[in-house]
Each structure stands twice: as C-alpha cells, then as structure tokens.
Amino acid sequence: MGRNNDTFTLVVDKQREAWSKFRRALRKEDQSLFDEMWRAPKIHLAAGAFIANETPIETVLMCMLLEQYKKIKYLEAKHSTALSEPPACVTGMY
C-alpha cells in the first residue's frame, strides 16, 4: 500500500509548531500579528490540500502572501474611492 499524505491542516499545524521558537522571541505585539498571519493557511485549506507540495512551507507562505495581497488591493480600492469623492465640507455647501 502507498503512504498517505498528511492533511493540509496537520501540515499547517506542524509548520506553525516549527516556528514556535521564532514566535516566542518576538515582541508581544508582533506575536499577535504573527498569529494572525497563520490564520491565512486555514482560510485556504482546500487549495492547500489540492497541491501536495514537497516543501509544505511554500504552500503556507503562498496562502499568507495571497491574504496580504487581498488586503493591499482592498486598501488601494478604498484609497482611490476616497480620492475620487469630494471632501465632506464641499458636498454640504450646495
């Protein structure tokens, strides 16, 4: 019989554990941000499970990168919308 691969959830948990010493060395406020980053792979479990990567940290990092990119695009859209709207003090004058 062939060997089964670990589930992506287990892979993420193992990778997170491997980075636990690094996390403990961070300042408290950075620890919470670090923990937030590790939520990204859990959002993309189906995609991570689909690709059985020999280097699982690559998949974990890609999930994190995707979530960061989505936040950047959201902020860019929000910023461009704010720039195109007239200031609140001007809209109330007419």
2 domain residue, yes or no: no
Per the structure, the complete domain to which residue 48 belongs is given by 8-86
**Quick one: tokens of 90?**
């001007």
22 domain residue, yes or no: yes
28 domain residue, yes or no: yes
67 domain residue, yes or no: yes
Amino acid at 40: A
17 domain residue, yes or no: yes
Query: How many domains, in total, are found in the chain?
Result: 1
Residue 53: count of CB within 10 angstroms of its CB:
14
3 domain residue, yes or no: no
What DSSP character marks residue 1?
A: -
For the whole model, what pTM was predicted? 0.77
Q: How does pLDDT run along the chain (94 residues), one tens digit per residue?
A: 566 778 899 999 999 999 999 999 999 999 999 999 999 999 999 999 888 777 889 999 999 999 999 999 999 999 988 888 776 665 555 5
Exposure class string for 58-69: b at 16+ Cβ within 10 A, else e: ebbebbbeebee
